[in-house]
Chain A
Amino acid sequence: MKISNEIKVGLTIIVATVIFILGIRYFEDLPLFDSTYDLVAEFENAGGLIGGNIVRVNGVSVGSVTSVYISESTGKVVVEFHVDPTIPVTEGTYATIGGFDALGVVRMDLTLGPASAERIPEGGLVDTRVTSDLMAEMTTRAPAMLTNVDSVLEELEGVMAQANAMVSTPESDIRQILSSARGSMRQIETLLADESNRIARILAHADSLTADLDAALGEDGEAVASLMDQMETTLATLNEDLERFQATNEQLDEILRKLNDGEGTLGLLLNDPSMYHRMDATLSDLNALITDFQRNPGRYLKEMNLVDLF
């Protein structure tokens, strides 16, 4: 079938027109076939908002800004925008401008009103609120902050100068400490160099020792465990003995206390001097008797008969 020129041209024009209209709606973020829900908001400051910027509800993109202009009568910024018709923009909804103006990503955020409230009619006015702009805040605070930074830097400079002076004078403490530290380091270095062989040997020994220990632990795990058990019982016995020893000790303490206090025979023996005195007197009497006996044996022996004796 031969397609006539009229059909070719007509078809091309129709397809192109459809693509054109749908393409514009697509890039405007409008639903391709549904109608839209247009709303208006008035701001004191648009904060860099332009037509085409995104409108979000709870962080979800639901529409876009159609146009932004300054009202001739009120001088306020009028923002026309449209959102998905399924979004319940009820009374009590308010709009804020967010995003980062310096990067060109400004957007409008809607905070929806209570779901029970009445919907704002098509073309109706949405309340607005001012949010703190991060950039603006930084701009207002920057001068004070810069002054602080300046003074800090000046102080730092003074400190640095002092430190510099300290380090650069040859007789300063730091210099001396550094030089002695350097000397110590050199000594340690030479020591290490001299003794490197021995250190290596020691390390090797330690290594083999650790390895042996490791092996012993690995192989004789059960032996070690039984050893540990025995040690435990031994310790328990020791503990009991110690308790008994403690009791004995206490008794001994009691005895010693009695001795000290002079209770009982032994106590009196230790503490009463009268016995000593009496014994002393007795001994001196005995002494005198023996001396007298040696001097005059006859006095004592005249009565005694030798025959009687033997």
Chain B
Amino acid sequence: MVPLTSHIVINPVAAFGRYSRLLFHAFGAVAEISSYRSNVWRQMVKVGVESLPIVILAATFSGAVSTVQTSYQLVSPLIPRSIVGAIITSSMILELGAVVTGFILAGRVGARIAAELGTMRVTEQIDALETMGLNSVGYLIVPRVIAGVVMFPILYIAACFFGIGGGMLIGELGGFVPFEEFVFGAREYFQPFDPIFGIIKSLVFGFLITSISCFKGYYTQGGAEGVGRATTQAAVASCVFLLLADLLLAVVLL
């Protein structure tokens, strides 16, 4: 009974406590960020710029596939074809843009961060940093989280741009929805708050993915196997909390 309770209740609560403490440290170290400026730029390139191709690819295809499938489903003569444009644009801006990017980043960036920090932990490089008097949280975690928070909205914008563009392109070339009708529908139902909501979402997702991955990596235990476990856990936990945050934000803000 006791191990079960500890597994279900105590461990997650303890993990959350450690996560909060780490974040607390990190916020304390934000003041020292000027010392680690070059590290911030490097992380921004790794998290943001280098993720652009895969995000663009995934977004373009999801936009194109959504367009084809939505046109396939909307066969009622009562529903104008321009609705496809409205659906693709809204779903890209509100949901797909941020979530597709989030999942890709959870896998690509989250796993990388956890593996990097985990290896540093098990090879005692983090202890070495501390010994040299460097703030390891400030040096390792803060640049990554900042990079995530800043670059994720950029990736989200790219995802929306290429997702909607892919939808328009396949709609026009494939003969599903002409470009003009697509844009007409998109404009008909466009709400100026939608992209703002998407940006808010992507800020939260960026923060969650990078901070959870840093947390998993920073507290890695048990050698190479531990690094593997931390990497997996980082990717999975990032996805789970990303979905929870997605739901929570939708309920609160829409």
Give the B-binding residues of A (Cβ under 8 A).
4-6, 8-9, 12-13, 16-17, 19-20, 23-24, 27-29, 51-54, 64, 66, 103, 105
CB contacts (< 8 Å) of B199 on chain A: these are: 20
CB contacts (< 8 Å) of A19 on chain B: these are: 157-158, 161
Q: Is the CB of A51 within 8 A of B192?
A: yes
Besides the known contacts A51-B191, A52-B188, 7 further A-B residue pairs in the complex with CB atoms under 8 A apart? A9-B151, A12-B49, A17-B157, A19-B157, A19-B161, A52-B189, A105-B80
Whether, in the assembled complex, B128 has its beta carbon less than 8 Å from a beta carbon of chain A, the answer is no
Q: Is the CB of A52 within 8 A of B190?
A: yes
Chain B 178-204 interface residues, beta-carbon cutoff 8 Å to A: 186-192, 195, 199
**Interface SS of chain A: helix, strand, loop or mixed?**
helix
CB contacts (< 8 Å) of B108 on chain A: these are: none
* Whole-angstrom distance between the Cβ of A145 and the nearest chain B Cβ: 22
In whole angstroms, what is the CA distance A28 to B160 when docked?
15
* Residue among A6, A27, A29 facing the most chain B CB atoms (10 A cut-off): A27
Whether, in the assembled complex, B24 has its beta carbon less than 8 Å from a beta carbon of chain A, the answer is no
Q: Is the CB of B195 within 8 A of A8?
A: no
In whole angstroms, what is the CA distance A19 to B97 when docked?
14
Given A9-B45, A16-B154, are A27 and B161 neighbors across the interface (CB < 8 Å)?
Answer: no
CB contacts (< 8 Å) of A103 on chain B: these are: 78
* Whole-angstrom distance between the Cβ of A30 and the nearest chain B Cβ: 10
- Interface magnitude class on chain B: 20 to 34
In whole angstroms, what is the CA distance A66 to B199 when docked?
20
Q: Is the CB of A16 within 8 A of B158?
A: yes
Q: Is the CB of B195 within 8 A of A13?
A: no
Q: Is the CB of A12 within 8 A of B189?
A: no
In whole angstroms, what is the CA distance A241 to B98 when docked?
108
Q: Is the CB of A23 within 8 A of B187?
A: no
* Whole-angstrom distance between the Cβ of A15 and the nearest chain B Cβ: 9
CB contacts (< 8 Å) of A4 on chain B: these are: 41
Which partner residue on chain A sits nearest B43 by CB separation? A5
Given A20-B157, A20-B195, are A105 and B45 neighbors across the interface (CB < 8 Å)?
Answer: no
In whole angstroms, what is the CA distance A24 to B161 when docked?
11
CB contacts (< 8 Å) of B49 on chain A: these are: 8-9, 12
A-B contacts, 26 of them at CB < 8 A, read A4-B41, A6-B41, A8-B45, A8-B49, A9-B44, A9-B45, A9-B49, A12-B52, A16-B154, A16-B157, A17-B157, A19-B157, A20-B157, A20-B199, A23-B157, A24-B195, A27-B89, A28-B192, A29-B187, A51-B191, A52-B189, A52-B191, A66-B192, A103-B78, A105-B80, A105-B188
The residue from B45, B150, B195 contacting A23, defined by CB atoms under 8 A apart: B195
In whole angstroms, what is the CA distance A53 to B52 when docked?
34
